[in-house]
Amino acid sequence: MRGLGIHPIRTGTAAVKVPFMTRHGGPVASRLRIFTSKAFTPPFPILSWLIEHDEGDILIDAGMSESCLAPDYLRSLGRVDAWVATHLCRFDMAPGDGLGPQLRRIRPRGTDGLRVAMTHLHLDHIGGLSDLPGVPVLVNRAEWQRPFGAPKPLLAAMTPDCFEFKATDTVPGFDAWYPLTREGDLFAIPAPGHTKNHCAIVLKRAGVTVLFAGDAVYDQGQLSRLEIAGAHVSARLALDTMQRMHRFIQAEPTVVLPSHDADAERRLNAAETFRH
């Protein structure tokens, strides 16, 4: 949304096996349903968010690079990740829609003075980092030390600036944060469940609060229904995170922007806050 200085960047789409989206039964049964299902979801967007800021612009997650269109790209991720990315997911991207070209269209000075803050380290969030050589990347230390489902060759190419959450009593529902700006208007909060150390990011600007939810939920409807995705590593942590988000949203009206929500860009443009 131009008024808020937030630019959505959609680097193609992903589709996943249907049971990725909703958990049924325990962890083993849920995993098995993902592996055995033949049905794929409709394609959903892969979203990153560029935030203009006086202290230096910040990109939340990096989406995918156009290099993913190369026939050998997925194979280069290693055997397991290549299998997951080809059998359980389907990625699609039009030429020119990789992170680098889109960023240059929005921000003519390219990566100059830019920083990236990661919610977690999955392929569709770190793939675009290859378009941003030399750009500082902020990752919470626990996610970096114990990444889950992150392709090793892409991790090996990263040298992130790790941060650690600090105790706070200023964020309703949450007891830790890490300010990403000196002003404190942009900060990360722990939002585990999708991965063990996944985080979300909050921006407060011009009377509007925006929650960049990452993959804590795949869309706002899941947050509304407290619906746990089948792909989450911990159902218990994912539910706790969603309940904390509810307490946060009750305390202040919030625009909720998950990374794969097809309706997120419209809600951002309309500054539409979360409603049950």
Q: Which residues bind Zn ion (CB under 5 A)?
A: 122, 215
Which residues lie closer than 8 Å to 123 by C-beta, 6 or more apart? 64, 77, 81, 85, 150, 151, 154
Tell me the C-alpha distance between 178 and 163, whole Å. 8
Tell me the three state secondary structure of residue 258.
Answer: strand
Tell me the C-alpha distance between 213 and 37, whole Å. 27
Residue number closest to Zn ion, CB atom: 122
Note whether 103 and 131 are within 8 A (CB). Answer: yes
Nearest residue (CB) to Zn ion, 202 versus 217? 217
Which residues lie closer than 8 Å to 86 by C-beta, 6 or more apart? 74
Tell me the C-alpha distance between 65 and 161, whole Å. 21
Which one-letter amino acid corresponds to residue 42?
P
Query: Which DSSP letter does residue 253 get?
Result: -
Nearest residue (CB) to Zn ion, 89 versus 186? 89
In sequence order, what DSSP letters do the residues of 176-196 get, joined into one string?
EEEESSTTSSEEEEE-TTSST
Nearest residue (CB) to Zn ion, 115 versus 122? 122
State in angstroms the smallest separation of the CB of 170 from Zn ion: 28
State in angstroms the smallest separation of the CB of 219 from Zn ion: 13
Nearest residue (CB) to Zn ion, 43 versus 179? 43
State in angstroms the smallest separation of the CB of 249 from Zn ion: 22
Which residue's entry shows tokens 């489902």?
Answer: 149
Tell me the C-alpha distance between 260 and 258, whole Å. 6
Nearest residue (CB) to Zn ion, 150 versus 208? 150
Nearest residue (CB) to Zn ion, 103 versus 121? 121
Tell me the C-alpha distance between 45 and 56, whole Å. 26
Nearest residue (CB) to Zn ion, 17 versus 122? 122
Note whether 138 and 126 are within 8 A (CB). Answer: no
Nearest residue (CB) to Zn ion, 195 versus 209? 195
State in angstroms the smallest separation of the CB of 125 from Zn ion: 6
- Give the burial class of 115: count Cβ atoms within 10 A of its Cβ; 0-12 exposed, 13-18 middle, 19 or more buried: buried
State in angstroms the smallest separation of the CB of 259 from Zn ion: 7
Instruction: Tokens for 1, please give them.
Output: 């949304």
State in angstroms the smallest separation of the CB of 74 from Zn ion: 16
State in angstroms the smallest separation of the CB of 180 from Zn ion: 20
State in angstroms the smallest separation of the CB of 123 from Zn ion: 8
